[in-house]
A and B are shown apart, each in its own frame.
Chain A
Amino acid sequence: MRRFLDSDLFYSFRTSPVAVVSFIVAALLVLSAVFAPLVAPTNPFDPASLNLMNGFTAPMAPNDFTGESFFMGTDDQGRDVFSTILYGMRISLFVGFAAVLFAMVLGIFLGLLSGYVGGWTETIIMRAADVQLTFPSILVAMLIFGVAKGITPVEYRDQMAIWVLILAIGLSDWVQFARVVRGATLVEKSKDYVAAARLIGRSPLTIMLRHIMPNVLSPVLVIATISLALAIIAEATLSFLGVGAPPTQPSLGTLIRIGQGFLFSGEWWILLFPAATLLMLALSVNLLGDWLRDALNPRLK
């Protein structure tokens, strides 16, 4: 820990106001999402706690019928918008993290393999990556989502939806990890410590995972952070288009989709607050990723 506090990375973090502020914002959002049951005033998914009479209450104003007042108002069903945002963010973050993790594991492995082994393996993997890149990632995600929906039984659809989302976003995102890892692997492979490991008699798999992988992880970390913001946005987009998280488990994107229906009837808060949360989350994570890229780039030092 003391070594970390003394490191150049922490120093660069401490002296960058943008990094500190975006870290605080991101941390607050993530923590409040993780501890949503403790933070949220109501549980929006418990039908017993909902009162339809509370529907369309404006923020910070008492309801005409019940006299109750809500920090960010309520939606058409009388659900507290603040609480739905906290619970929705849980889904968004979970899908984002899981999708990036999936893309990262797949991308790192395929990147290491094509960089280290070379030859036909490399050609096949990297051509597949090129083909993948010619499709817009949202389209790929929708395609996977559609196919998955077709083959799962109706009663499991809502449960499966989240996992299909993760798979769909992850599969459309692995290419950049694979490309970066392949490039870094080609550089590391020619270094003498790899030759030394081969001379010891280590197997190619051990050399890839134990020797090369730890040395190619810093650019991966940067892409992962920036990808996280993109994955959260991708999830929101899919949910907004109606192919993502179901209304029974609404993510931020689902909330925005619900909210935009009421925008022109004057209930602006149902859309604004989820959208603003999404913006803050994506922006803070993105800025953190930008800072990390600069801090880890030796050329800018």
Chain B
Amino acid sequence: MSEPVLSIRNVTVDIPTRHGLFQPVRNVSYDIRPGEIRGVVGESGAGKSMTGNAVIGLLDPPARISEGEVWLNGRRIDDLDAEEKRAIRGKEIAMIFQDPLTSLNPLFTVGEQLVETIQLHLGLSAADAKKRAIELLDRVRIPNPEERFDQYPHQFSGGMRQRVVIALALCSEPSVIVADEPTTALDVSIQAQVLDLIKELARERQVGVILVTHDMGVIADTTDQVTVMYSGEVVEQGTTGQILGAPSHEYTKSLIAAVPRPQVKLKRFPQVSYGGRETTFKIEDLARNWTATQKSESGTLLKVDGLTKKFLSKGSLIPSRREYFTAVDNVSFDIKDGEVFGVVGESGSGKSTVARMIATLYDVDGGSASFDGQDITKLDKEGVSAYRRQIQMIFQDPYSSLNPRMKVGDIVTEPLLHHRLLPSGEVKPRVRELLDRVGLASDAHNKYPHEFSGGQRQRISIARALATQPRFLICDEPTSALDVSIQAQILNILKDLQEHLGLTMLFISHDLPVVRQMCDRVGVMRHGKLVEVAETSELFEAPKDPYTRELLSLMPKLEALSDEELKAQNLA
């Protein structure tokens, strides 16, 4: 085996705070060999990005490496001064960041940025540098590189921009690239292309790559070696096949077990708890108090017919001069009573817009939607209020969906008081009961949202949504901002709710395996149109539309993952 290009030995990072010393990274060691891709995986806050930043000397003071050594090509680099570190950074170690929007300067053309970097690191003449830049653009498979050379970053799409960032990283012919969540902001189809490109370039140029990610699918698809981190420490490392196929550490096992699989639908997500984070959820008690389980007469709760939404893209005083962008184009589907209906699609496909129109948060520009036989696009003020009581929504971002200045108790109380659902004496006990039912501690009602983690906040959102005892729940990407083990918990809560309370759900997601686990029927959206609606198993096993087939083929391959835990859970 060849010598490692980068070697991290027992690195510990200290951040002194006024509450004492905080060590986000403790005693982390790993090596990267030329042409090898090492995945660093773990949940948010595990210290994986912090390790990457420590290696390239990008720690923000007062954070510093307190112990350990970093060796690059046989030279120790962690004790160099800032000026020498700067010389190494970009030349020998390059970086690819998560957000391709912010890592390019919007005021310079793509070509100027490439040429500047090439000249800085390789000292070529302007003409040679330009030639090389065009070569690089061509290498990262940007069509018409000569033409694209003179364009600005905003003229590139997200995936194209990330390719430019990769080209920038390759400018100086580095020996190591640190890629920090390089595809998290991208759609699946683009993610697959970018990952393929990284894989190919690593082989071809013998570059060592550190790939920091939270996504097990990316790890399984791309990496050779894996390091699993948990709360600042390495819990397990080895080859990808070995870690994913036969994990030995409890944490790795729980992490792998929580990854939703597309192959088979499970009754519940297996939950292997680690670090005492398991919380209980008492669904049966909630069901006993549930009074509003009425059924619609026809069996169809929601009927959407030709729904259309246009957004103004160019305003004008004269109506005929205005230009519109059609976000949702003639979408029709039915949701039966007690059914979970999924909508999948890439970003910008209009799936959230559909949800918001059904929730009456957006006005409808065409078509109709009827709830229990009543057209919701033609409701008067009282009608809207009565309708909104029967539907509730769970939002994607748990950080913006709760008012930061309101106590959790008040947040859950608000719908009860507004609709005067209970006599005033019963409100408080009911709120505590709701919070208790979603597995929050008894003193939760007196705290503010910022004192809770993302998963706990999502539970608060669920408690608020349940307060009005709705018949219909709209979930707009409820778990895409959460770590995989928390996602499993939240999805289990939603599954339980659906089962015990007979809730009808509209479940929106871009994540196909999650949809497979949650939904009875699925609609696939693309560019505002619904291209296919089918039973979930049918859609996954025999997709009809070419776009659906393409989406399915781009799903990360998870066959490498151990299914030992899954089997144990399912047999039990």
Contacts and interface: CB of A to CB of B under 8 A. Distances in A.
Given A192-B400, A200-B468, A215 B405 contact: yes
A199 B414 contact: no
A35 B397 CA distance: 51
B18 interface: yes
A199 B411 CA distance: 13
Interface string B392-408: 11011100111111100
A5 interface: no
Contact of B415 (A195, A200, A215): A200
Given A197-B414, A200-B418, A191 B392 contact: no
A199 B391 contact: yes
B553 interface: no
B544 interface: no
A196 B418 contact: no
B395 A201 contact: no
Given A196-B395, A198-B361, A215-B405, A11 B388 contact: no
Interface in B17-37: 18
A199 B385 contact: no
Interface residues of A, number: 15
Interface in B492-511: none
B395 A192 contact: yes
Interface string A202-225: 100000000100110000000000
A196 B406 CA distance: 13
Contacts of B404: 215
| Chain B interface residue number, banded | 20 to 34
Residue among A197, A199, A202, A215 having the largest count of chain B Cβ atoms under 10 Å: A199
A116 to B, nearest CB: 14
A195 B403 contact: no
A135 interface: no
Contacts of A191: 400-401
Interface in B462-503: 464, 468
B389 interface: yes
Given A199-B361, A201-B418, A214-B405, A193 B400 contact: yes
A211 B389 CA distance: 19
A196 B415 CA distance: 10
Contact of B359 (A193, A199, A215): A199
Nearest to B404: A215
A192 B475 CA distance: 13
B393 A193 contact: no
A201 B403 contact: no
Interface in A175-192: 191-192
A199 B393 contact: yes
A241 B461 CA distance: 58
Interface string A8-42: 00010000000000000000000000000000000
B419 interface: yes
Contacts of B384: 201
Given A11-B18, A192-B395, A192-B396, A199 B388 contact: yes
A62 to B, nearest CB: 55
A211 B419 contact: no
A196 B414 CA distance: 11
A199 B464 CA distance: 11
Contact of B385 (A193, A201, A214): A201
B402 to A, nearest CB: 6
Contacts of A192: 395-397, 400-401
A196 B404 CA distance: 13
Contacts of B393: 195-196, 199
Given A193-B400, A200-B418, A200-B468, 20 more contacts: A11-B18, A191-B401, A192-B395, A192-B396, A193-B401, A193-B402, A195-B393, A196-B395, A196-B401, A196-B402, A196-B461, A197-B403, A200-B415, A200-B419, A201-B385, A202-B414, A202-B418, A211-B406, A215-B403, A215-B405
The 5 lowest CB-CB distance pairs between A and B, nearest first, are A192-B401, A214-B405, A192-B395, A191-B400, A193-B403
29 contacts: A11-B18, A192-B396, A192-B397, A192-B400, A192-B401, A193-B401, A193-B402, A195-B356, A195-B393, A195-B395, A196-B464, A197-B414, A199-B359, A199-B361, A199-B388, A199-B391, A199-B392, A199-B393, A200-B415, A200-B419, A200-B468, A201-B388, A201-B419, A202-B418, A211-B403, A211-B406, A214-B403, A215-B404, A215-B405
